[in-house]
Amino acid sequence: MAKKLAFDKVLFVTVIILLTVGLTMVYSASSVVGARTGGPNPFVVKQILAVAVGLLGMWLAMHFDYRVLASRPAAYGLYLGVVGLLVTALFQPAINGTRRWILLGGVSFQPSELAKLAIIVYISYQVARQEDRDHSYELLVPSALATALLAGLIMMEPDMGTAGLVALAGVVMLFLAGVPWKFFAGTAAIVVPLAFLAVRLEPYRWQRVTAFLDPEKYPLGAGFQADQSLIAIGSGGILGLGLGDSVQKLHFLPYPHSDFIYSIVAEELGLIGALGLLGLFAVVLWRGARAGLKAPDSFGRHLAWGLTAILVLQALLHMSVALSMLPTTGVPLPLMSAGGSSVVASLVACGLLLNVSQHA
């Protein structure tokens, strides 16, 4: 059995810094909207409670043998449990025209956030099961079908951003597992046309794509969010307007505390703050990849790489949307954006990553 070492302190400190900056920016970005309630800022209160739950989840994820998840009952049990939750969410009352949440005792959560963890554990189990055997087809088929099912259920909510993130995480993990390119080419030939149809047949999605190609053509329509985000980022300059001094959060930029929190970071803390935040996620990428390389087994290696990929890819997707490099989609910035389900799932993912880092 591998020797258990101290957890990665560099990664741990980086996570705490991201969490602290996130709480500060949620407080700043939501101050105007939160003030309308006449009491304590509800976004900050909810975020603090979610962080407390998430830290407990991270501590628990750090203090057990991660190889328990490498068993068939654990991998399939987690996966099927999440599938059941996603199906349940589809029968919940619609909120803002979507069915992404499950309500329990006045508390809501998004099972799609758990889907990210479930697919990583499931594919890691499949990779470990095929270790020392060149069975790319046997690895690809169950992994691709499992990924497609989760992404399809999330698309039905609808939530194309998270569905695409789950699918991309699956592709990255299979690539790192050594699946040949020819299998990806065949899968892409099926997935790309289906994704295009999903966008083209839904008017609001198609409007976002056309607005992305020419946002100034729709300044008060589908291009409004992208335009306001770019104004926020451009207004920050090098040093920023100052913490708490954002103008775009004054009812110009929608969802500044969640979907566009990176834009507020750039506006208030400037290019230096925006690049600093990008640098922190670069540290997560470095230490996560290192944890995977030093893992004592195939399951731990791919678990660490998958968790790192989902955190970093989600961060890059959020930042790309804020910079209008991708069509607008509501993907939170891990450990930063307001949203209880997101911050709890991200902290649990960090806990598992720190768990793997304790073994060599």
pLDDT tens, residue by residue, 232-243: 999 999 999 999
- Helix (H), strand (E) at residue 168: helix 160-176
Q: Name the 3-class secondary structure at 311.
A: helix
**What tokens were used for 192?**
């790309």
* pLDDT of 200: 77
Give the whole-angstrom CA distance, residue 355 versus residue 338. Answer: 26
Q: How high is the mean pLDDT of the chain?
A: 90
Q: Indicate whether 315 pLDDT > 90.
A: yes
- Specify which of 21-35, 174-188, 307-321 reaches the highest per-range mean pLDDT: 307-321
Tell me which DSSP letter residue 3 carries.
P
Q: What is the mean pLDDT of residues 128-143?
A: 76
Q: What pLDDT score does 38 carry? A: 67
C-alpha 358/C-alpha 360 separation (Å) is 7
Q: Which of 50, 66, 155, 154 is nearest to 112 (CA)?
A: 154
* Angle between helices 136-155 and 111-129 in degrees, nearest 10: 170
pTM: 0.93
Question: Is the confidence at residue 2, as pLDDT, over 60?
Answer: no
pLDDT for 213 beyond 90 = no
Nearest-angstrom CA–CA distance, 197 and 195? 5
Does residue 344 carry a pLDDT above 90? Answer: yes
Residue 319 and residue 133: Cα distance in Å, rounded? 39
pLDDT score, position 103: 87
Report the distance separating Cα 166 and Cα 186, nearest Å: 19
Beta carbons within 10 angstroms of residue 90's beta carbon:
11
Residue 83 has pLDDT above 60, yes or no: yes
**pLDDT of 134 over the 70 cut:** no
Burial class (CB in 10 A: 0-12, 13-18, 19+), 104: exposed
